[in-house]
Chain A
Amino acid sequence: MSGESYIRRPNRPLQIYAVVFLILLYVPVMFLPLFSFNDSLYVRFPLEGFTLQWYGELFQRDAVWNALWNSVRVGVVVAVFSTTLGVFAAKAITRYRMPGKGPMVTFIMLPLVVPLIIFGVALLVLLSQLGIALSLYTVAIGHMIVCLPFSIAVLIPRFEGFDASIEEASADLGENAFWTFWRVTLPMVGPGVVASLMLTFTVSFDEFILAFFLSGTEPTLPMYIWGQLRFPQQFPSILALSSIIIFVSFVLVFAGQWINRGALSGSAKRSGA
């Protein structure tokens, strides 16, 4: 393409801007791990000695382990349920023409836009009127509101990226709907399913706003952190805990994106076609 040569000319200032932008995106977050190894009660420069003390302290706290276990349980349940519903919805959205699809999709994606505090208080009001006590179950229901649209958004490019006629061929060759799904559809969208599980788990694991309104006596990990933030002398161990969470989240998300990388080339292929 002749046009490329002009556009491709490198733009040095823009390149510098992009690198600075990326650095600024990461630096604030990276201060948490940096100070978590600092041998001082105070989060300030200059850094003092290197220590693993705060991590050690963390491992002796039962409250942390309980909160972690709560978050993991909620995260797993939410990931499985929202991904299951997400697979059906993503297939319906990409494959079938049906009247009213636009508004229905908008409705499903609404939680990505509406302030979460509204969902939190609305659900709290409903539960209290029904007389349902707050628990990890109510947290999980709240988390599913946010995770379902995420799951669908991750899965849609996967379904768009593969040829529907393969499914039809399988059906023509005598496979029933279940086996077609199991042996044809699932392997094709499998990476998207894994990515969706990982990303929705991360979203649920890190979610705070809904948990704030919907958790009962059992705190999730972000709720535990929130409780500790009131005490400045707890900062170092919270820094340690935050660093572990950030590290695990980064690994899960990066792995999820990497596993699902075909989906994006799939959608690029579409726009290129």
Chain B
Amino acid sequence: MSDQTLQTRSAPVATPATAGRFGRLMQRSEASRGYALLAPSLIFLGVVILVPFGILLVMSFWTASGFGFDTNFTTANYQKFFERPIYTALLNRSLFISGMVTVFTVLLCYPMAYYVAFHVHRHKMLWIVLMTLPFWTSYLLRVFAWKVVLGYEGVINSALMNMGLIEAPLEFLLYSQQAVIITLAHAWAAFAILPLYVSLEKIDKSLLEAATDLGDGPVRRFFRITLPLSLPGVISASLLIFIPTTGDYITPALLGGPDGAMIGNLIQKQFGPINNWPMGAALSIILMLCIATISLVFILLTLFVRKRVS
């Protein structure tokens, strides 16, 4: 990644596919070759994603009856969702928690990505690997680690009690929405850092130089150039965190307590102990629709803002 490697390696030259007989042959069959190579992945994912989604959608209009399903088409599950406040409350809480996690993670990771993109010159790769390494370890174990840190007799409480700063364990640490937000922010940091870093790294540094020459201070320069140009990174970081975390059920199950349960826990229970699969299917579809709508609004909004800024 250093300047040296940039110079010693020659830039790849895109060879026009028109060179020679072989080239003409390739050009003609280019698209079909591409499709052929992509087909196994597409077919596999089509079978294990689209087909199950279709069945999930159909099942959400069924009802549970005894040990099987009543397959008569009914919107009862969806009606139930809107009639019982507990369902909407859990969905709202999930969206709130994920929203908070997204805001915190992006705000905390932005300076980090900025630092590596603008101020690290020698060991960029090492920094990136170090920042993303914890993300590759088991999600379950990272959540478990926070249970160890935040628990009643955990690291923080026992340390504070030993120092004589508190008499009894701080109860708000574990089994609360805060605990869920902290844990999720930690667990998903890598998903924010990478897109932010990529978008910041792409910024042409001479633009900043020009702004300085024209008399912009650091703050103005940041808000008028760096931030708008890194917006694509901010958008993808936000979506990469917001969408997956809304469905999480491990962190709330281990650290959330009664106030921290999310829609994912409810879905999991419908497919487990409650054994009402059609209701679980309806909840999954509602969650998906919610996520899709919010993401779309968010993307359109940011694109609109970006247009106005530039």
Contacts and interface: CB of A to CB of B under 8 A. Distances in A.
B37 A121 contact: no
B112 A17 contact: yes
B205 A249 contact: no
Contacts of B129: 254, 257
B137 A271 contact: no
A89 to B, nearest CB: 4
Given A22-B131, A32-B148, A88-B40, A113 B243 contact: yes
B43 to A, nearest CB: 10
Given A107-B42, A124-B271, A242 B141 contact: yes
A245 B115 contact: no
B41 A85 contact: yes
Interface in B14-33: 14-15, 19-20, 22-23, 26, 30-31, 33
A203 B41 CA distance: 18
A96 B158 contact: no
A114 B56 CA distance: 15
B227 interface: no
Contacts of A209: 139, 249-250
Given A29-B137, A44-B154, A273 B119 contact: no
B264 A85 contact: no
B53 A122 contact: yes
B214 interface: no
A93 B41 CA distance: 12
A144 to B, nearest CB: 7
Contacts of A2: 209
Interface in B206-225: 206, 208-209, 212
Interface in B227-256: 239-240, 243-250, 254
A115 B264 contact: yes
Contact of A125 (B146, B244, B281): B281
Contacts of A273: 11-12
Interface stretch (B1-9, B72-80, B82-90, B299-307): B1-9
B49 A145 contact: yes
Contact of B55 (A22, A129, A229): A129
B67 interface: no
Interface string A91-108: 111011111010010011
B11 A269 contact: yes
A147 to B, nearest CB: 11
Interface residues of A, number: 108
Q: Select the residue from B12, B22, B119, B157 with max chain A CB neighbours within 10 A.
A: B12
A172 B48 contact: no
Given A88-B37, A91-B37, A270-B12, A117 B247 contact: yes
A245 to B, nearest CB: 6
Classify the secondary structure of B's interface with A: helix
Contact of B111 (A17, A145, A207, A239): A17
A101 B34 contact: yes
Contacts of A107: 42, 45
Contact of A17 (B53, B115, B271, B277): B115
A39 to B, nearest CB: 15
Contacts of B157: 44
Given A117-B247, A202-B136, A270-B12, A125 B55 contact: yes
A117 B11 contact: no
Contacts of B287: 115, 118
Contacts of A1: 205
B35 interface: yes
A111 B49 CA distance: 9
Contact of A168 (B23, B243, B244): B23
Interface stretch (A49-57, A61-69, A72-80, A158-166): A158-166
B165 interface: no
B149 A28 contact: yes
Given A121-B284, A122-B55, A145-B49, A21 B112 contact: yes
A42 B155 CA distance: 11
A15 B267 contact: no
Contacts of B202: 271
B59 interface: yes
A61 B4 CA distance: 53
Interface in A18-58: 18, 21-22, 24-26, 28-29, 31-32, 35, 42-46
15 contacts: A7-B209, A10-B119, A15-B119, A44-B157, A96-B30, A99-B31, A104-B38, A110-B49, A122-B55, A163-B12, A164-B12, A168-B20, A203-B136, A257-B129, A271-B202
Interface of A: 1-4, 6-8, 10-11, 14-15, 17-18, 21-22, 24-26, 28-29, 31-32, 35, 42-46, 85-86, 88-89, 91-93, 95-99, 101, 104, 107-108, 110-119, 121-126, 129, 141-142, 144-145, 148, 152, 161-165, 168, 171-172, 199, 202-203, 205-209, 212-213, 222, 225-226, 229, 238-239, 242, 245-246, 249-250, 253-254, 257, 261, 264-265, 268-273
5 pairs of A and B residues whose beta carbons are closest in the complex = A115-B247, A96-B34, A273-B11, A122-B52, A92-B37
Given A11-B119, A108-B41, A123-B52, 10 more contacts: A17-B115, A25-B186, A43-B154, A86-B41, A113-B240, A129-B55, A165-B15, A208-B138, A209-B139, A253-B137
